[in-house]
Amino acid sequence: MKTKPAMDSGSGPGKTFGNLLSPIKIGPVELKNRIAVAPMQTYMSGPNGEITEQCLAYIGARAKGGPGLVISGVFLGTKLASQFPVGRTMSLFHPGHQLGPTLYAERVHYFGAAACAQMSPGSGRQSTPYERDAEVPAPTAGLPYEMTKEKMFDAMAGALSVDMRGREFLVGPMTREMSISEIRSEQREFANSCQLAVLCGFDMIEIHAGHGFLCHEFLSPFSNKRTDLYGGEWRNRKRFLNELVEIVRYAIQGVPLVVRISAEEHMEGGLSRDEMIDVARDLEARGVDCIHLSDGGGLEECGHQIPDADRAAHIPEHGRDFKKALKVPIIVASQHDPVKADKDIGEGAFDISALGRQMLCDPEYPNKLAAGKPEEIVRCARCNICILRGLAGMYLACPLNPNLGREYLIEEYKMGPWKTGERLIPKVLEHARMPSLYNTQWWRSEIEFVEKCWRPFRGPGPR
């Protein structure tokens, strides 16, 4: 495969990117630049959601590349959600899970970036349950997704060859309706899991509420056919996400909270941009510190979720509309061209550029911009081979990056010994003062203790 030219818009030697490389704050956390690693499911975790050395080296390579923020691949935040994953997905809902995420956050910090844990309360009707005939928990019963051949081929830009055996569409697993008591139990467990992520050292939390997964399904008229207080009229369909944000905001206190949503569904009668701006206003009013914009309604309209160059060109326009309505920073995805991204940030279209496939292809993208060498960037061809491997259950790989998925074999992406001045208690706990969701007195005293007694590593002592 021939590599495309580095960039479209006149980037070359000596080009500066003052907007893209300028610092910005999300809540109390300052980022060194406005480039974020977008959340990507890598299929590198273990079968029970555990984090492997392959995961750690992969994220170390992205952090070493120089972004201001690294957003993790998704963590499933409840026991129920972990039983209905999308392929091999990381889990964080029990104290026994904390070692892997702690090492994950430490790897990101070791290479100089801020770490954000993307947390999900579930995949809903887009789950791939381990048990063949299991019914997946979702807003509405009896409503599996249907993905047509046309949508599948469109999303994969012609790279997919599948024998459909005469079928016109793929059908997802059968769904069952979540009860109100189950919804509230899941919300509470999820908030507790967000606290665990903070204790692991992540600087901020992102709730995944886009792409047709559980939070999005409650919003959408296509997937929410309920007639109780979580369905029907618009304010009821917003209730699940609004309540979830409220309890997570309470649970993590001053730790920055980001929510990722789709800008619109791109389906006739689906969620419009104006409706999603209304959702974002609700989230801002509930204390969300940043909105992360993606696009599309999930598998039934995944060409916008995994955009080609033409669709990606419209994403900054989404950002402009949301920026006009909100005061919090806006992250947009899939703007691979640094010249355009820098210009759009300067014009106020958005605040932070999140890169997924581009950072798979060339994790040194930020460093090359900072060095004034944008012409050396290996540009993502948007061929979606990485996505196809994931759909097949294999870890991500890229025809333009021979190291992707094999970073664990490379010494430079590993951590060394503790460095002098390195914090032994994560700085994020200064913002936390997290309350106990289960009314256990030891929790608050324990949190206050670690806030007061953080220590830097002072160098090796006597042997």
**Ranges of CATH 3.20.20.70 domains, the chain:** 24-413
pLDDT band, residue 132 (cuts 50/70/90): confident
Q: Is residue 169 over pLDDT 60?
A: no
Chain segment 46-86, per-residue pLDDT in tens: 989 999 999 999 999 999 999 999 999 999 999 999 999 98
Q: Is residue 157 over pLDDT 50?
A: no
State how far the alpha carbon of 233 is from the alpha carbons of 34, 183, 221, 239, in Å.
38, 18, 9, 10
Burial of 278 per CB tally in 10 Å (0-12, 13-18, 19+): middle
Give the up-direction half-sphere exposure of residue 337: CA atoms within 13 A in the CB hemisphere: 19
What average pLDDT score do residues 193-200 get? 94
Q: Enter the tokens of residue 401.
A: 């990056």
What average pLDDT score do residues 432-454 get? 59
Q: What is the pLDDT of residue 2?
A: 40
What average pLDDT score do residues 432-455 get? 59
pLDDT band, residue 180 (cuts 50/70/90): very high
Q: Is residue 249 over pLDDT 60?
A: yes
pLDDT band, residue 212 (cuts 50/70/90): confident
Task: Provide the residue type at 263 as one letter.
Answer: A
Task: Find the helix or strand (DSSP H, E) in which 120 lies.
Answer: strand 114-120
Contact 48, 349 (CB under 8 A): no
Tokens 């256990």, residue located: 440
Q: Is the dihedral of CA 351, 356, 358, 363 positive or negative?
A: positive
Contact 164, 249 (CB under 8 A): no
Q: Determine the Cα–Cα distance for residues 379 and 376; give it in Å rounded to an integer.
A: 9
Contact 420, 459 (CB under 8 A): yes
**One CATH from 3.40.605.10, 3.40.50.9100, 3.90.850.10, 3.20.20.70 for 24-413:** 3.20.20.70
Q: Is residue 456 over pLDDT 70?
A: no
**Higher per-residue pLDDT: 314 or 341:** 341
Q: Is the dihedral of CA 40, 295, 146, 160 positive or negative?
A: negative
Number of CB atoms found within 10 A of residue 356's CB: 22
Q: Cα 42 to the chain's mean position, in Å? A: 12
Lowest mean pLDDT among 42-56, 253-267, 328-342, 437-451: 437-451
Contact 71, 31 (CB under 8 A): no
What string of DSSP letters covers 312-334? HTTHHHHHHHHHHH-SS-EEEE-
Chain segment 347-387, per-residue pLDDT in tens: 999 999 999 999 999 999 999 999 999 999 999 998 888 88
Q: Is the dihedral of CA 191, 215, 142, 152 positive or negative?
A: negative
Residues 6+ apart with CB under 8 A from 460: none
pLDDT band, residue 158 (cuts 50/70/90): very low
SS3 401: strand
Nearest of 2, 1, 3, 5 to residue 374 by alpha carbon: 5
What average pLDDT score do residues 259-268 get? 89
What torsion do the CA atoms of 267, 355, 242, 238 make, to the nearest 10 degrees? 0
Q: Determine the Cα–Cα distance for residues 5 and 393; give it in Å rounded to an integer.
A: 31
Give the up-direction half-sphere exposure of residue 154: CA atoms within 13 A in the CB hemisphere: 15
The angle, 0 to 180 degrees and rounded to 10, between the axes of the packed helices 315-325 and 338-346 is 20
**Higher per-residue pLDDT: 170 or 84:** 84
